Structure 1
Amino acid sequence: MAQNMQNIGQGNGNAPPHVRDKWGEFLKGHPPVFKHSTDPLQADDWLRAIERQLEIAQCDDKEKVLYAFGYAFRSHHVPAGLMKLKKEFLALKQGSMTVAEYRDKFIQLSRYAPTEVDEDEKRQELFMEGLNDGLQYQSLSHTFASF
């Protein structure tokens, strides 16, 4: 895969000097190489990292061979059910659960959205957003050292 992407980016070497080397810019970001993973979240994380690098290099749609490849990659390595669990996590609200039940469910589902909770501040913010309004209001005046 990486070799094929490298061959595509090299072209024929006859580009005019004023043309930006987007492929070179992409490679300067040291994009991760995907070898194999049984963890669908790792596969999804890799794809997101590649997409981010392509955006940083300002590749247009024609240059993003990834678009045609990305859908097939994600559907093969990242089951739809996993993405459903991520959406469930992002929409999680306390509702009729106790705070302890909500916390346990939050922690359980947060595994499916690692980039959304990779920092303690983000984790706290998402947790508080899901609390019932009264508890949300009460927690605004407090600062918590960690989740």
Structure 2
Amino acid sequence: MGHENGNAPPQVRDKRGDFLKGHPPIFKHSTDPLQANDWLRAIERQLEIAQCDDKDKVLYASGQLQGAALDWWDSFCFGCTKANPITWPEFRSAFHSHHVPAGLMKLKKEFLALKRRSMTVAEYHDKFIQLSRYAPTEVDEDEKRQELFMEGLNDGL
């Protein structure tokens, strides 16, 4: 009788199920900052698709950590309290600063020195796009991006 007035209990979506449906990757450890950054981007995509809130984002993303990455996370959480839980921006920032920065400047230098050499134009284009993420101020305008691309493309021609 209580549901006749349209007062049916709201359906609770299984956000974890939605998150896992997208097969989010596991992260153990990588010396390649591109892999760590790509993992974080893939996780963020799945979290957005599952429409997770801040608390769920931290919980589900950290659930995809294993090995050395899980050891890092456990250590990071050691001083945290339930009264002051870790936010998603804090997780992102901590993950990024621990797993990505070691090779970041190296990748920026690699990007700025990128030349086509023996790569096909398509291979050069893909590498240019991939590495340009690590030099955002150098490619923040279309004209600058095109100029850098052409400089590396014309190397030795």
Tell me the TM-score normalised to structure 2 length.
0.46
Task: Tell me the TM-score normalised to structure 1 length.
Answer: 0.48
Q: Which has the higher contact order (CA 8 A, sep 6+)?
A: 2
